[in-house]
Amino acid sequence: MSKQNPQLDTQGNLKHFLTIEGLSRDLLTEILDQAEGFLGVAQQAVKKVPLCRGKVVANLFFETSTRTRTTFELAAKRLSADVLNLNISTSATAKGETLLDTLRNLEAMHVDMFVVRHATSGAAHFIAAHAHPHVSVINAGDGRHAHPTQAMLDMFTIRRHKQDLSRLRVAIVGDIMHSRVARSQILALKTLGVPEVRVIAPGTLMPNSIEESFGVRAYHDLREGVRDVDVVIMLRIQRERMNSALLPSEHEYFQLFGLTEERLSTAQPDALVMHPGPINRGVEMDSQVADGPRSVILEQVSNGIAVRMAVMSMCIGTQNLKIQPAGDADG
Amino acid sequence: MANGPRISIRNGRLIDPASGLDGETDLHIADGEVLAIGAAPSGFQPELTLDARGRLICPGFVDLCARLREPGHEHKATIASETRAAAASGITTLCCPPDTLPVIDTPAVAQLVYQTAERHGFARVLPAGAATQGLEGVKITEMAALKQAGCPVLSQADRPIRSTQVQRRAMEYATTFGLTLFLHPQDAALSEEGCAHEGLVSTRLGLPGIPEAAETVAVARDLALAEQTGARIHFRGLSTARGVAMLTEARRRGVQVTADVSMHQLFLTEEDLECFDANCHLIPPLRTRADREALRAAVASGEISAICSDHQPHDADAKLAPFPETAPGISALETLLPLALRLVEEGVMDLSTLIGRLTQGPASVLGRDLGRIAPGSPADVCVFDPEATWVVSPATLVSHGLHTPFNEQEMRGRVSWTLHGGRIVFER
């Protein structure tokens, strides 16, 4: 029950990256600025910098993922770290090994950083609390709780298009209830000074106390919710929600909450459309919007690598990145 | 319990709400019973005199819910280890829920628990008999046989009966034998997969919630059935202000219902879950400050007539997992008294009322002549130093359960002697 932020070391530097909660605006801005510097690395002939040379990063995925794992892997490799990829979704735990056993075995291999995805809220905090003191933990998504690097890459993408965050209206649409992405996005938007954050969902996918918990405005009507907004973030709907009492059908969901060009027309003319992927076309949005001029969905993916490089190097980098013009960094 | 030693406890302040006693007086014990209060009978020669100057003397506490983990979960704790911890906490009678392995749904298991406790002699253990076979909520148990085997009450532990019809039948059959039914009011479907109060904190942390309605729906159902069947029911561990309001209203109407609260519910709230502290994983979940205040008020007024430890000792591994995957429950025997005294310190109620909620109140729910100090009653006595301070830690706890949200906190109030059946079972 320590009140001290478990993510920061005694000097206030980033040690783990578990959640946006409790991090300052300055620190989030530093992540974005660092990521800006890393964006150039992808344009170099040799796409590598030596900031994490000699470090070992283990991607510990207890839940399957392609995109997030791949971008973390690329980010670590571009920082010159050695990378282990472990998909533990079924293997170890099915054999009765506990999470802590898995952790201890990997620590014995002298891993410097765990990138963790787990289906249970609080898993990343648990691992950070029980890892060796020299090990850093990055949360790549835990249950419904947090997915802070996703939120930061979204902030990065928004900042590249909209300079002044303090004037924005942002709407997040979809399964707010079960979304770790939404929780981290809301916290990041608020911390970075976005004055109006709206969440839009049917009653079954909207937590009752969302307004009080997060200081957002809740809408049940998509048209009303996206009116005059500068950014619309669509969330993925898991298919299994249709098999419970949460939603009646994909058809009705799309009729009411699917984003179309027509429904987007009440937003600002230059509104950005975002999605953390993978998209269910025809459920969350139609292809016209997903592939349209206002969509920055693929850009989010590229930005994800730079943002993850920034967070990783801030946690375990041996030196700070000198922000230099693209192509000038050490190969 | 015959042939216990002759003991005089002198110079202490004796508080016994059941007898209306509160004052400095002496207490004399012989043959396992209270012999006299005040002056010793002429010719009484104590073998042992305890000087209780500056201490309080009260009936040994009666705890309506403490898990001992035996039989079946001895890797967590045993009847011997936990009754020893109870003695160190001033608790002389405890009622254990039937969720052992095997379940206490036959006289054999009930007797095993009762007799094992009696053999160790630290405290009186009254096993609650299961209301349904295997606690499965399908077939009712042989309640008459369980009663004869010494079960004072029936319980479903924390596995609520899903079928309203089975619940009704269990109540009706229990009524046949005058047995009270302990109910943990939590609707099974509404609490499924939940691990925290559905509210501000669970929303922020993304923890699956247990809504307030999980309790109020169950309370409403069970009150309606109690009214219909004339059964006597007891809500074990209320957690919400609305639950308390419904209880109060039903009692006004004459429904035969009583209720208790777990001690930690009077101190902790959902806000203590920050940082996913597994020691705050409790069922029913920690709720809001408003709920806590309503529970405190109800204990003070007597609508809630008992405070329990809700002791649940666990092995280390049970709490070594991400929050939702940990086992709920905490080690709570030894913090019962010092936390209780905090209620007095914080002005929630006076000392005599408080002692009543730990002695007379729970004893009357069990329908046993316990929890009082009167000539002829069993000499179950707690003598404690209300000023002694100590720090909660794995090193200071007697229980095998070491998980507590109060770890590393300083506590005021510590047991000096515990007498069970006229014998000293603990001294410090």
Cβ distance B322 to A122 less than 8 Å, yes or no, reads yes
The better pLDDT of the pair A319, A9 is held by A9
Query: Which chain B residue has the Cα nearest residue A205?
Result: B203
Residue A89 has pLDDT above 70, yes or no: no
How many residues would you count in chain B?
A: 428
Is B75 within the bounds of a domain?
Answer: yes
Which residues in chain B land under pLDDT 50? Answer: 1
Which chain B residues are Cβ-neighbours of A99 within 8 angstroms? Answer: 321-322
Structure tokens at B318: 């049970």
Catalytic residue among B16, B187, B222, B310: B310
pLDDT, tens digit, for every residue of B309-332?
Answer: 999 999 999 999 999 999 999 999
Question: Is residue B372 within 8 Å of B18, Cβ to Cβ?
Answer: yes
**CB atoms A125 and B208 under 8 Å:** no
* B2 within some domain: no
In angstroms, how far is the first alpha carbon of chain A from the final one? Answer: 44
Query: Is residue B163 assigned to a domain?
Result: yes
Q: What percent of the residues of chain A are helix, what percent strand, and what percent coil, each to the nearest 5?
A: 40, 15, 45
Give the pLDDT confidence of A185-218 residue by residue, as tens digits: 999 999 999 999 999 999 999 999 999 999 999 9
Determine the pLDDT at residue A92: 54
The whole-angstrom separation of Cα B382 and Cα B373 is 11
CA of B266, closest CA in chain A: separation in Å? 18
Whether chain B has a CB inside 8 Å of the CB on A2: the answer is yes
Sign of CA dihedral B7, B417, B61, B13: positive
Question: Does residue B159 belong to any structural domain of this protein?
Answer: yes
Based on the domain organization, do B153 and B53 belong to the same domain? no
Q: Is A144–B204 a contact, with Cβ atoms under 8 angstroms apart? A: no
pLDDT score recorded for residue A244: 83
Q: Which residues pair with B383 in a beta bridge?
A: B57, B417
- Residue B345 and residue B411 share a domain: no
Task: Tell me if B156 is assigned to some domain.
Answer: yes
Distance in angstroms (rounded) separating the CA atoms of residues B428 and B421: 18
Cα Dmax for chain B: 70
- Phi-psi group of B72: left, alpha or beta (phi > 0 → left; psi -120 to 50 → alpha; rest → beta): left
A55 CB near a chain B CB, below 8 Å?
no
State both tokens at B362. Answer: 């729970």
> A175 and chain B: CB distance < 8 Å anywhere?
no
Are the CB atoms for B252 and B244 separated by under 8 Å? no
Q: How close is the nearest chain B Cα to the Cα of A215, in Å?
A: 11
Q: Do B284 and B412 reside in the same domain of the chain?
A: no
Mean pLDDT for A259-288 is 94
Helix-helix angle A297-316:A148-161, to 10 degrees: 120
Tell me the backbone φ, ψ of residue A266, rounded to 5 degrees: -85, -15
Q: Give the integer Cα–Cα distance in Å for B284 and B210.
A: 8
Q: Which pLDDT belongs to residue A91?
A: 54
- A159 annotated as ligand-binding: no
* Residues B334/B92, Cβ–Cβ less than 8 Å: no
Full strand arrangement of the beta sheet holding B91-96: B61-63, B91-96, B124-127
Residue type, A5: N
Give the one of A98, A99, A213 whose C-beta lies nearest to B204's C-beta: A213
Q: Which residues contact B254 (CB under 8 A, 6 or more apart)?
A: none
Domain identity same for B321 and B396: no
Residue A208's Cβ-side half-sphere holds a number of Cα atoms within 13 Å equal to: 12
Set out the domains of chain A in order of their start, with CATH numbers. 25-145+302-315 (3.40.50.1370), 148-297 (3.40.50.1370)
Instruction: Dump the DSSP string for B35-94.
Output: EEESSPPTT---SEEEE-TT-EEEEPEEES-B---TTT-TTT--HHHHHHHHHHTTEEEE
**Contact assessment for residue B266 and residue B339, using Cβ atoms and an 8 Å cutoff:** yes
- Give yes or no: residues B269 and B414 share one domain: no
Shared-domain flag, residues B270 and B337: yes
Residues B150 and B255 occupy one common structural domain:
yes
Residues B206, A183: C-beta atoms closer than 8 Å: yes
- The tokens describing B298, both together, are 């109800």
**Do both B306 and B332 map to the same domain?**
yes
- Is A67 noted as a catalytic residue in this protein? yes
Most confident stretch, A95-99, A246-250, A314-318, B182-186:
B182-186
Report the C-alpha gap between B120 and B329 in whole angstroms.
Answer: 25
Can you give the CATH number for the domain in which B319 is found?
Answer: 3.20.20.140
Whether residue B65 is contained in a domain is answered as yes
Is some CB atom of chain B closer than 8 A to the CB atom of A63? Answer: no
pLDDT, residue B236, reads 98
Residues B27, B96, single domain; the answer is no
Is B1 contained in some domain? no
Pairing of β B21-30 and β B33-37? antiparallel
Same domain, B27 and B64: no
**Which pLDDT score, from 0 to 100, does residue A103 have?**
87
Query: In the predicted model, is pLDDT for residue A322 greater than 80?
Result: no
At A94 the pLDDT is 57
Structural domain total, chain B: 2
pLDDT reading at A95 higher than 90: no
What's the first-to-final CA gap in chain B, in angstroms?
Answer: 23
Of A102-116, A198-212, A219-233, B339-353, which gets the smallest average pLDDT?
A102-116
- Per residue in A143-198, pLDDT (tens digit) is 999 999 999 999 999 999 998 999 999 999 999 999 999 999 999 999 999 999 99
Which residues of chain A make contact with B323, given a CB cutoff of 8 A? 120-122, 126
Which residue range forms the structural domain that includes residue B47?
A: 7-57+378-427
Under 8 Å CB pairs connecting chains A and B tally to 76
In this structure, are B359 and B225 located in the same domain?
yes
Residue ending a domain, choose from B326, B356, B372: B372
| CA-based nearest residue in chain A for residue B322 | A123
Q: Is A318 on the interface with B (CB under 8 A)?
A: no
Q: What is the pLDDT of residues A31-78, one digit of tens each?
A: 999 999 999 888 888 889 999 999 999 999 988 888 899 999 999 999
Contacts of B213 in chain A (CB under 8 A): none
Q: How many CB atoms lie within 10 A of CB B106?
A: 18
pTM attached to this predicted model: 0.94
Confidence of residue A112 (pLDDT cuts 50, 70, 90): very high
What number is the average pLDDT over the span A116-137?
94
Do both B285 and B399 map to the same domain?
no
| Domain annotation covers residue B167 | yes
Region A23-31 average pLDDT? 97
Its ipTM equals 0.91
Dihedral sign for Cα atoms in the order A314, A21, A86, A178: negative
To the nearest whole Å, the CA of B205 is away from the closest chain A CA by 5
